[in-house]
Amino acid sequence: MADRDQPSAPIAGNAKPSAEPSAEPSAGLAAPVAPITVVTGGSEGIGLALAHRFAKAGDHVAIVARNPERLARAASELRAAGATVVEIAADVTAPDTPAVIDAALAARGYYADVLINNAGIGLSGAFADEPEAAIERAMATNVTALTRLTRHMLPAMLNRRRGGILNVASMGGFMPGPYQALYYASKAYVLSLTEALAFEAAGNGVRIAVLAPGPVETRFHARMGAERARYRTLMHAMSPARVAGFGYWGFRVGRRVIVPGFVWPVVALAARITPHVLLNPMMAWLLYTEPRQPLPK
């Protein structure tokens, strides 16, 4: 793929754009005529793997992430693989992020054809022990930001009668998750919302799907302090690239709920039909992690 119109630096995010996102581009800016795939949390892990997979199929990709250094490294990695990339340094939880993304894309002559809502935060431990700020941040990222971006992008896709949305959830969305309660509940929300929107949009040329992988070998588990939980040793973790492959093909063929692998779809079905009185203690045993000790003063 030719690497055309590459930015020399990331487009700064969360600053008020000069025009409303639906307005005509200002003088000197290209009209938004070219489609692009937008990936939030696209600087590493599943998000970066999805950006690679969609780029491999010929899509131009825009990756959105908070950390400018990781964003730049991810963009360089994608370009080295032949991708055309737009970098957008933005915090998805900021209310103005949809407008920031629109302005950044319009400045390069793009519109969001496919939105991949991948940004997410996990919390491990008893819910009552989690700091309120951490809970607010997780809710803002996993629920509010995803909902806001979906609502912002979907009407234009329906008007164009093309494009789509791929939301990244988790196997955790199929069941309660004691000791990762908020994370599991937030992914249940993503599953429910996506399935309902897919039904509403059916027949309008817009694909809406949810990707629900089991454990994936990324830094996600360590970040939330879950590396010592039993599921990390007892359950096989897939590679981000393999998850992205299942996600890409499931999305392209029109599946609404995509569970990567061959064993995990069976597990998802079992989780749907197993009474929670049995499921709760099993999941608690798998997810429990000894409380983290405070650092010495």
Catalytic sites, residue numbers: 183
Cβ–Cβ under 8 Å, residues 164 and 247: no
Alpha carbon of residue 204 to chain centroid: 23
Cβ–Cβ under 8 Å, residues 44 and 74: yes
Residue type, 194: T
Cβ–Cβ under 8 Å, residues 168 and 260: no
Query: How far apart (Å, rounded) are the C-alpha atoms in residues 282 and 82?
Result: 45
Q: Which residues pair with 241 in a beta bridge?
A: none
In degrees, to the nearest 5, what angle opens at C-alpha 186 toward C-alphas 185 and 192? 90
Residue type, 24: E
- Residue 294 burial (C-beta neighbours within 10 Å; 0-12, 13-18, 19+): exposed
Cβ–Cβ under 8 Å, residues 89 and 10: yes
